[in-house]
Each structure stands twice: as C-alpha cells, then as structure tokens.
C-alpha cells in the first residue's frame, strides 16, 4: 500500500546506534506543535517508569507476530533480541492530519521504509562524537550489564557504516547544538 504524503504531512525517520541520543533529540523536537510521535510496539519489558500506550505499546511475542501477519506495521525489526514495529495506522493518521510524523527507528526499520513507497521522506542518522562517548552514555543509563553494553557497542560499530544511506547525519556531541542542527535540516526539508 503506497503512503502518499504530498500536500499533507511528511515522514521523518531518525536512526542511529543505541545510546546516540535519538530519543532525547526526538523528545526535544516533539515540543514543537508540527511534530507528532508514533508510539512504537515492542516485545521488550518496560524500563523504569515507562508506561504502556504512552512510551511504547508493550506486546507479547505472539501478539506482535500476529500483527506482522496482519500487515499492521509500516516497518518492524528484531533489535537486541526484541521485536519493534511502527503501527501503520498511526503514521497514516498523522500524515492525513498534515503533521510531521517523527519516527525513531533502528537501521533495519529505516531501510524498510526507504525501500517502500513513501513520498516526502527525510532520513537522519544520529551519531555520537566517538565510541568512547557512546560507551559512557550506555553505562550511565544503568539499564544494561557490561556484557550487554559490549554487545551494543559491537552492533553500533556495524550500524555506523549505514549512515551513508541517510539524507543527513547529525553528530550529537552538544545536545543543544544537535537539536538546532536537526531543526535546521527539517526546516530545509519541509520547504
């Protein structure tokens, strides 16, 4: 099913390695009224005070797989052993309302979206200033074991090579500067 965004909203895909700051940057953009967030479905357990239906839609593996079979997702992928997917209906509703739909997805999901029939799509890859900084950020979250952090760093090294397939790359060294860079890119892409 082709998703047409012309003369309506548009779709912005933001990707990057775990710990690069994608979620924080997206949260900053979502303070602007033209942006709308899609609530991603996942099979992972909630972290901290995350709430079902607000932060993520938490699903059991069987429910998620049934939704895949039903064509419920614009994209879906297995990331760090858990399934994540973008509900197609949320994307279409945001676009139909003339909003800028902001997706924070991994590189697999971004690839699926780039290969689909989506008009007015902009893709942005977020990178940390270095792998050492990325390791520090992952450790600071205090949600993963040392073994899991090492695994995420290995994956991050592989993911960094994907940035050449994106329309823009933003280095998240200074958070405020990264937000300004994103806003500039999105203003240009929207004109």
pTM of the prediction? 0.83
Cβ neighbours of residue 46 closer than 8 Å, sequence gap 6 or more:
52, 55, 56, 58
| For the chain, domain boundaries | 10-190
Under CATH, to which class is 10-190 assigned? Answer: alpha beta
Per the listing, tokens 């909203």 go with: 9
Tens-digit pLDDT string for the chain (191 aa) = 444 444 468 999 999 988 888 989 999 999 988 899 999 999 999 988 999 999 999 999 999 999 999 999 999 988 878 999 999 999 999 988 888 999 998 888 999 999 887 778 999 999 998 888 888 888 887 777 888 888 888 888 889 999 999 999 999 999 999 999 999 998 766 65
Contact 14, 25 (CB under 8 A): yes
Question: Can you say whether the dihedral through the CA atoms of 168, 126, 162, 113 is positive or negative?
Answer: negative
Q: In what order do the strands lie in the sheet with 41-42?
A: 57-58, 41-42, 82-87, 73-79
């Amino acid at each position: 099913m082709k998703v047409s965004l012309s003369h309506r909203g548009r779709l912005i895909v933001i990707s990057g390695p775990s710990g690069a700051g994608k979620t924080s940057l997206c949260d900053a953009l979502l303070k602007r009224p033209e942006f709308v967030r899609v609530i991603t479905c996942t099979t992972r357990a909630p972290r901290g005070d995350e709430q079902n239906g607000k932060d993520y839609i938490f699903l059991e593996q069987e429910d998620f797989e049934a939704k895949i079979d039903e064509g419920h997702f614009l994209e879906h992928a297995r990331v760090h052993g858990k399934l994540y997917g973008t509900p197609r209906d949320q994307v279409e509703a945001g676009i139909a309302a003339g909003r800028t739909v902001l997706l924070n997805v991994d590189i697999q999901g971004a690839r699926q979206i780039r290969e689909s029939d989506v008009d007015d799509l902009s893709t942005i890859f977020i990178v940390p200033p270095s792998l050492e900084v990325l390791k520090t950020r992952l450790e600071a979250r205090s949600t993963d074991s040392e073994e899991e952090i090492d695994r995420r760093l290995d994956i991050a090294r592989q993911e960094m090579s994907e940035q050449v397939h994106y329309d823009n790359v933003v280095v998240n060294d200074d958070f405020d500067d990264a937000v300004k860079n994103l806003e500039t890119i999105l203003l240009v892409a929207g004109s």
